Amino acid sequence: MSLIEPFAAAAPLVVGWTTHGLLFRRRLTAARRCPLTQLLTRDGWEKAALRRILRGNAAVAVIDLDGFKAVNDMFGHAAGDAVLKATGHRLHLWAGASDGTAGRLGGDEFALVMSTDDFHVGIEQLHELLTAPVDWQGQQLEVGASIGAVPTDGLTLSEALKQADQAMYEAKGSGGRRGPRRPQDATARLEVAR
């Protein structure tokens, strides 16, 4: 028996396992992306957010679309999907320019991890971007956006998400305005009035 025969016999197995591994990796990557918005899903976003937070100078934002249900009810789910796609695209572009990563947490709720540089100005710009009308079949679909954001200094991702979520609900309660927060000390945070 020559040395070539065992390798020749094993070659189909190696090719098969390599192909299987590549397909599995593609499926896993696809499962971490929302098929509608192409943003990371919660699991994938949390992993990316943790990596970004470890680099420092990071903030977390939670965004909820205001009036999204009305768009779905009035124009149908295809219109709602168009709004979600546009929101995903806008968040992806904005996050890339802000050294961050966007994700879709579910429904019409999204999350961002980003640099804290120009934090408040950035949130204002993000709000304007997200509330721009979406063109759909000749209709201008409009939704609002409630944004809660906190710097992650000294916070775990879970704590930052909880505080950003609370700020988002406070913003929603005040008519869907932005809700960025600024640390006052190690334990207290204050919503910035607009």
Tokens of 130: 């997200």
Distance CA 45, CA 101 (A): 7
Residues 67 and 145 sit within 8 Å (Cβ to Cβ): no
Which value, in Å, is the radius of gyration of the alpha carbons in the chain? 21
Residue 73 annotated as catalytic: no
Distance CA 191, CA 194 (A): 9
Distance CA 181, CA 190 (A): 6
From first CA to last CA, the distance across the chain in angstroms is 82
Query: Which one of the listed residues 64, 108, 135, 185 is annotated catalytic?
Result: 108
> Which amino acids are annotated catalytic?
108
